[in-house]
Chains A and B, each alone.
Chain A
Amino acid sequence: MRKVRAAAAPYLLALPAWIWFAIFFVVPIAAMASVSLTTGNLLEGFQQTFSFSNYAKAVGQYHTQLIRSLIYGGIATLIMLVLAYPMAYWIAFKGGRRKSMYLFLLLLPFFVSFVLRTISWGFLLADDGILFGPLKSAGLLPGDFHVLATDVAVIGGLVYNFLPFMVLPIYVALERVDPRVVEAAYDLYASRWAAFRKVVLPLSLPGVFAGVLMTFVPATADPVNARILGGTGNTMIGNIIQTEYLTNNDYPTASALSFTLMAVLLVGIFVYARSLGTENVLEAAAR
């Protein structure tokens, strides 16, 4: 009896998490799947018709925004990778005793709300705001110069908001690289560049993999940056889903769009994991 109880202990300990997971993830997903297969409107009510017409409508009508979201998310992720890797590298190898302080600085913006931070970026980038206003009156920039309501503003906002999620996993992976292994590479005639390319970089790939997942998915689905920093031509799929739900009350279309986005992201992740060599990544990550 005691043995049985001991064996059951881990499961019992995980039970609250499982219940939480069931109520806040499985149930909503199932409900949304069901809603995505209904037809009707808010006034006359929705009927479960198991019709896939919502999906056809979603993709047919909003593929532009869907593709734009993937492109924005992709570009933002690439920029974040380029910015984050040197940052993580520097903190991990040159941070010395101040490592924790640098990490704290990295996370400091999180003490301010996500939306507020994005709005303040809006102020900074406003056509006659504190940054461009003086430059324009000084004649250093043409009068019609603007950044707000462009691709640049939206992608810039995404990069700014999600950068720490790229830095942290890469930092963790780099931190775990044994400095003696890097010394061994130098000892075996590797130049600094060769030691990085052949030893440090491969050993940090699990962090890069995690960082890309943690930034690409939320950046692609994000509605806030496009709404605050973008114009009509920069609408992302997150904005459409929000509008369909909250303004148009077209729950079936919004649900179908959400599922389409999820499916596209899942397929993307799968292909990405495969091409990067899941086995190697998982193997290295398991170490």
Chain B
Amino acid sequence: MTEIQAGTEAAAAASGAPQVPAIELDGVVKEYLAHGEVVQAVKGVTLAIAEGEFFSLLGPSGCGKTTTMRMVAGFEEPTRGVVRLLGQDVTNVPPNKRDVNMVFQSYALFPHMSVWENVAFGLRRRKVAEAEIRRRVGEMLEIVDLGGREKRRPREMSGGQQQRVALARALVNRPRALLLDEPLGALDLKLRQAMQIELKRIQREVGITFVYVTHDQSEALTMSDRIAVMNDGLVEQLAAPREIYERPATAFVAGFIGTSNLLSGAVDRVESGCAVLKLGEHGRVLVAEASQRAGDPISVTVRPEKITISTEEPSGDISAVRGTVSEVVYLGLYNSYAVRLADGAEVTVFQQNALDSSSTAERGDAVWLSWQPHHSYAIGS
């Protein structure tokens, strides 16, 4: 229960203060004509992003997240639906007249201009006074830690530096919202992790709404206030990272975010608020807060790190199933076990590597898996 509260609290904090959302999508649909056939890239997205929020659109490639973002930026016009910025309908407003700026996946810096000219580009187009441009560009280059590199050309800089130029070029205009399209995709892991923290710091510093498009679930979980998980042109779940992880709304979300085990069956009985489903001869899965009644079919997810492995049958009001270890993978911080249940389903279990290594199970061992009722989560009811 505590996790749920923390999740909704974050969402409430993000959407609480101002009445008008920074960005609003209302029933937005985008259709393309490909090879004479109508293809729906976005099938109807409705969401509101609060001012100052770090909002992520997360999903696999082709799920419509980039198209959704491009409709907010103005590069694509929705086939149906309305896009609003601070309550104003901008559905048909071209990108150069929208008060949002974008950080492109490949940065798209102007190769023939210096870093300074790149960053000053937007202010110059808006005819800001020269003295003001000097001040703001200088300030912004300090924020992204590029002071002293004003005269460089983009291709004389590393990927991480180019990334920060792209960020500065967009942020210097103080847009209503900053749209970031997989901005860290081209960086290596170390740099990516450093930039994640950096992005979060910059967002706090400038206080601008960030809309972040990514297919990297750990990136979205790390940085976002709220995440919209998209699949096949639709939003599957919109919630705070913790809630998305702990309480996935659909099987897709459960599978896409982290590793998840899916167990299906019919509810056997409901006991003191817990739905109980039988699995095999001795197995039982307890699900807290399930709305299903006895006899209803149910799908349950449970995260691998919530499961405990033991050789003895666990007792008490917890889920317990039997299986045989079919694979053990040593991953440093933890071991990953694949355990095959009697009905053939395979369950993944993560167990932290404690000092005492005698407790680890071996391949072929018959084991019991157990977890708390509130770690089973019924989905797609």
Query: Which one, A180, A186, A199, A280, contacts B96 given CB within 8 A?
Result: A186
Query: B97's closest neighbor in chain A, by CB?
Result: A189
Chain A contacts of B96 at CB under 8 A? 186-191
Contact A180–B122 (Cβ < 8 Å):
no
Question: Could you tell me the distance in whole angstroms from the C-beta of B211 to the nearest C-beta in chain A?
Answer: 14
A16→B155 CA distance, assembly (Å): 36
Question: Are the CB atoms of A184 and B125 closer together than 8 Å?
Answer: no
Interface presence of A71 (CB below 8 A): no
- Known A188-B121, A189-B125: A180·B104 in contact at CB below 8 Å: yes
CB-defined interface of B89-113 with A at 8 Å, one 1/0 digit per residue? Answer: 0000011110001101110111110
Closest to A284 in B: B112
A93 to B75, CA, bound (A): 16
Contact with B along A272-287 (1 / 0, CB 8 A): 0000000010001001
Q: Please give, as numbers and ranges, the residues of chain B lying within 8 Å of A187 by CB-CB distance.
A: 73-75, 95-96, 101-102, 170
Residues of chain B within 8 A of A23, CB atoms compared: none
B126 contacts partner chain A, Cβ-Cβ < 8 Å = yes
A203, closest chain B residue (CB): B112
- Is residue B169 contacting chain A, with contact meaning CB distance below 8 A? yes
Q: Are A203 and B108 in contact (CB under 8 A)?
A: no
Is A87's CB within 8 Å of the partner chain B?
Answer: no
A189–B99 Cα distance when bound, in Å, is 9
Q: With contacts A184-B102, A189-B96, A287-B155 known, is A178 near B121, CB below 8 A?
A: no
Contact A184 B104 (CB under 8 A): yes
Q: A180-B106, A186-B95 are in contact. Are A202 and B112 (CB under 8 A)?
A: yes
B173 within 8 A of A: yes
Q: Which of A187, A194, A203, A287 has the most CB of B within 10 A?
A: A187
Q: Bound state CA distance, A185 and B105, in angstroms?
A: 15
Return the contact of A185 from the options B74, B94, B121 (Cβ within 8 A): B121
Please give, as numbers and ranges, the residues of chain B lying within 8 Å of A190 by CB-CB distance.
96, 121, 125
Instruction: Report which of B111, B112, B126 forms a contact with A189, defined as CB distance below 8 A.
Output: B126
The reply to whether B110 and A184 form a contact with Cβ atoms under 8 Å apart is yes
Q: Are A188 and B125 in contact (CB under 8 A)?
A: yes
- Interface size of B in residues (CB-CB distance below 8 Å): 25
- Secondary structure at the A interface, as helix, strand, loop or mixed, is helix
Contact partners of B155 in chain A: CB under 8 A: 287
Interface centre among B94, B106, B121, B173 (most CB of A within 10 A): B121
The chain B residue with its CB closest to the CB of A287 is: B111
Bound state CA distance, A284 and B154, in angstroms?
12
Give CA–CA (A185, B173) in the complex, Å.
Answer: 13
Question: Once the chains are docked, how many angstroms separate the CA of A189 from the CA of B125?
Answer: 6
How far is the CB of A186 from the nearest CB of chain B, in Å? 5
Chain B positions within 8 Å of A183 at CB level = 75, 95, 102, 104, 108
Could you tell me the distance in whole angstroms from the C-beta of B375 to the nearest C-beta in chain A? 44
Q: In the bound complex, how far is the Cα of B268 from the Cα of A258, in angstroms?
A: 102
Contact A180 B108 (CB under 8 A): yes
Could you tell me the distance in whole angstroms from the C-beta of A214 to the nearest C-beta in chain B? 22
Bitwise, A192-212 to B at CB < 8 A (1) or not (0) is 001000110011000000000
Closest-CB distance, B148 to chain A (whole angstroms):
22
**Which of A186, A194, A198, A203 is close to B111, meaning CB atoms less than 8 Å apart?**
A203
- Does the CB pair B108–A181 fall under 8 Å? yes
In the complex, chain B residues whose CB is within 8 Å of the CB of A186: 75, 94-96
Question: Is there an interface contact between A178 and B125, defined as CB atoms closer than 8 Å?
Answer: no
Residues of chain B lying within 8 A (CB to CB) of residue A202: 112
A246-276 vs B, Cβ < 8 Å mask (1 yes, 0 no): 0000000000000000000000000000000
Q: Which positions in A face B, CB cutoff 8 Å?
A: 178, 180-181, 183-191, 194, 198-199, 202-203, 280, 284, 287
Give the 3 A-B residue pairs with the shortest CB-CB distance, closest first.
A188-B122, A189-B125, A184-B108
Q: Which residues of B are in contact with A by a Cβ distance under 8 Å?
A: 73-75, 94-97, 101-102, 104-106, 108-112, 121-122, 125-126, 155, 169-170, 173
7 further A-B contacts with Cβ under 8 Å, apart from A187-B73, A187-B102, A188-B101, are: A178-B106, A180-B108, A183-B104, A185-B110, A188-B170, A284-B111, A287-B111
What are 12 of the A-B contact pairs (CB < 8 Å)? A181-B110, A181-B111, A183-B95, A184-B109, A186-B94, A186-B95, A187-B73, A188-B101, A188-B173, A189-B96, A198-B110, A198-B121
